[in-house]
A = this chain, B = another copy of it.
Amino acid sequence: MKKINVGLIGFGNVGVGVIKILRERKALLIEKIGIDIAVKKVCDQDITSKRNVSLDKDLLTRDAKEVINDPKIDILVELIGGIHPAKELILEALRKGKNVVTANKALLALHGQELFAEASDRSKNIYFEASVGAGIPIIKSLREGLVANRFNSIFGIVNGTSNYILSSMSRNNCSFEEALKEAKAKGFAEKDPTLDIEGMDSAHKLILLTYLTFGKFINLKEVFVEGISRISSADVNYAKELGFEIKLLAIAKKEESDLEVRVHPTLVPEDHLLASVDGVFNAIYVSSDLAGNLLFYGPGAGQTSAASAVVSDLVDLTQDIKAGFFRPTLNIVLDKTINKLRKIDDFESRYYIRFMALDEPGVLAKISGILAKYKISIASVTQKQRSKTQLVPIVMVIHEAREKELRLALNSINHLSAIKEKSVAIRMEEV
């Protein structure tokens, strides 16, 4: 029987999951693919901590070179995360003739072009199913299952931490801070949750999804990113009253010949499947021209879930190696109907807006007057309370407006004497 040797760098949570599967499911995998995927070396800074898997001590090393330089290792599994030294290790492994499996979305989002080019030059593959949506086979589906399709848009809930927080704010009527605290207590948010709640993790994944669907590698600087830390409990509740849930969406969308790539909190109609995606779950809603609108849903993180994706990549690689295939950018081609990336100023969207105003006659007239000046038309408006002493919220939904005009209008409104807090504006998507 053919044996393919794997070297793993990064023996953390997911790494342990991968080793467990390769050991405990060895017979199953051999029965399925007729190839023995053998663990030849496991590298980590920490090789003494007890892990929930038994592993021959001889396989453990602190020295990544022992993996990279071992000519008998066919595949490097990179699970250390971060940019350095992950990038250098992957490049070196490719140069040494190894194929690569990684779950490192940040690295691929920032340096994917260079890494895929190196793989291509060396006739090697980089597979990365675990980098978006963990065990949800979204990358395989986009590349292979939907191979004949062109894509119109992709809307993803791809960050479990943010979705957990927004879900609990909606379900338990609590503040962002309370929800974040709960998420931390349950292990769904990191000590420093900035990358997750400010949308950067979603942006990394969106860059990969955009590459897979439109064939364009977007620079992170060109992605519009807005996180959820300014979403208030009041907004979650008002959105609900209007029939919407607030979700952090990663969006890549063709508008005529422009491509929009953006991450931001979004009002999603409550009867849309994306509105029902609860807790740490992820979901990717894909609009394709032949197969129609599809949803892929599942846990977006977790040891076994991510490891399941890594092992499916390993299995695919064994088949590629057996066949002599190399296809690091498998089925990814540029959508030539795309002319340019749309600038943020030119985004058009409906908006939910909350003004905090003094309850005095003429306020609404002033607000509407400014909006009219910028040709922004109002779909609905409600003053939520009455109070002689306190600020009252005015909740408005506006029809499609260009980002630039909306910003100018809001700026002008925020300077009105009756407006005492910065107005809140959240995008709405038809999906």
Contacts and interface: CB of A to CB of B under 8 A. Distances in A.
Tell me which of A298, A305, A324 has the highest count of chain B C-beta atoms within 10 A of its own C-beta.
A298
A291 B309 contact: yes
A305 B291 contact: yes
A33 B294 CA distance: 24
Nearest to A150: B28
Contact of A21 (B145, B290, B294, B325): B290
Which of A28, A145, A309 is most buried by chain B, counting CB atoms within 10 A of its CB? A145
A297 interface: yes
Given A140-B141, A297-B273, A323-B324, A148 B308 contact: yes
A85 interface: no
A271 B366 CA distance: 42
A172 interface: no
Contacts of A17: 290
A137 interface: yes
A288 interface: yes
A370 B298 CA distance: 43
A134 interface: yes
Contact of A297 (B29, B145, B294, B331): B294
A307 interface: yes
Contacts of A31: 333
A149 B331 CA distance: 25
B140 A135 contact: no
Contact of A29 (B25, B147, B294, B299): B147
Given A276-B276, A308-B148, A297 B299 contact: no
B304 A290 contact: yes
Contact of A145 (B32, B141, B302): B141
Tell me which of A141, A148, A276, A304 has the highest count of chain B C-beta atoms within 10 A of its own C-beta.
A148
B290 A298 contact: no
A51 interface: no
B298 A297 contact: no
Contacts of A276: 271, 273, 276
Nearest to A311: B148
Contacts of A295: 283, 295-298
Interface string A380-401: 0000000000000000000000
A129 interface: yes
Nearest to A315: B147
A141 B28 CA distance: 17
A251 to B, nearest CB: 19
A136 to B, nearest CB: 6
Contacts of A86: none
A288 B297 CA distance: 13
Nearest to A20: B290
A141 B137 contact: yes
Contacts of A32: 147, 331, 333
A316 interface: yes
12 contacts: A21-B290, A135-B292, A136-B291, A137-B145, A137-B146, A141-B141, A147-B312, A271-B276, A291-B298, A295-B297, A297-B297, A319-B323
Interface of A: 17, 21, 25, 28-29, 31-33, 129, 134-137, 140-141, 144-150, 271, 273, 276-277, 283, 288-299, 302, 304-305, 307-309, 311-312, 315-316, 319, 322-325, 331, 333
| Closest A-B pairs by Cβ, 3 of them | A137-B145, A135-B291, A323-B323
